[in-house]
Amino acid sequence: MDFIMDLRNQTAIVTGAGQGMGRGIAEKLSQYGAAVVVSGRTESKVLETAQIIKSRGGKALALKADISIISDIRMMFDACEERFGAPDIFVANAGLSFSSNLLETTEEEFYKVYDINAKGTYFCLQEAGLRVKDGGRIVLISSSTTKYPKKGMSLYSSTKAAISMMAAIAAQELADRKITVNAVLPGLTETPFMKTGLPDEFKRMVADNTPSKRLGNTEDVAEAVAFLCSKESHWVNGQQILADGGCLC
């Protein structure tokens, strides 16, 4: 019996898919057969992701969109419907990484991070709730830092905690249409930001405190997301799924 997740004849929208985790998720959903709308703020990067998918025989549409702008969110769904039809899957991955001590964070920084991570995700979720097909799947990318608080992460982690709560409540509100909503909480994952924005000592500490003695990669997270996008996940709803390799830190 073949249990490979089958997303053929389905359409997915993935935000923040120009690089890193979002690109990995978009590629994975395409690998399982979905047509993917690849959304992001940098046009050249989303075009690159879409080209990778197409070069492997997949279907993709690249869209430049900023989720902090509500009209861009609506445009993203409009473009999806025009090209592929109403989405079956929506993955809210776009977000801004940020680290700053509580006593040093400025008001400008506060609004910048909340505008994308919290407000942007909220209105993406609202639009997805209106336009994803009945029986569809919505996955929000939160963070393991909501479970394991770290110094310097008060602003970032609070936006990600908000995302986790959005998923839990939306799961209840959309249940009558059999749409599941879950949050994935990645641990430290090898992305462009992680490679340049975090000290090596910290990365070694995380790896040492993970049973497999390594950091996560985009493939690890993408597989978890793909499962939550599949029909096999129909009984998983309103959950916060840690995808951190069992890290004890």
Catalytic residues: 142-143, 156, 160
DSSP letter for 216, please.
B
Tell me how crowded residue 71 is: count the other CB atoms within 10 A of its CB. 9
Residue 204 in tokens: 């070694």
Torsion, Cα 63 68 72 74, to 10 degrees, reads 110
Give the max Cα distance, the chain.
Answer: 57
d(C-alpha 188, C-alpha 242), whole Å: 11
DSSP letter for 189, please.
B
d(C-alpha 101, C-alpha 43), whole Å: 32
d(C-alpha 242, C-alpha 164), whole Å: 11
d(C-alpha 142, C-alpha 167), whole Å: 10
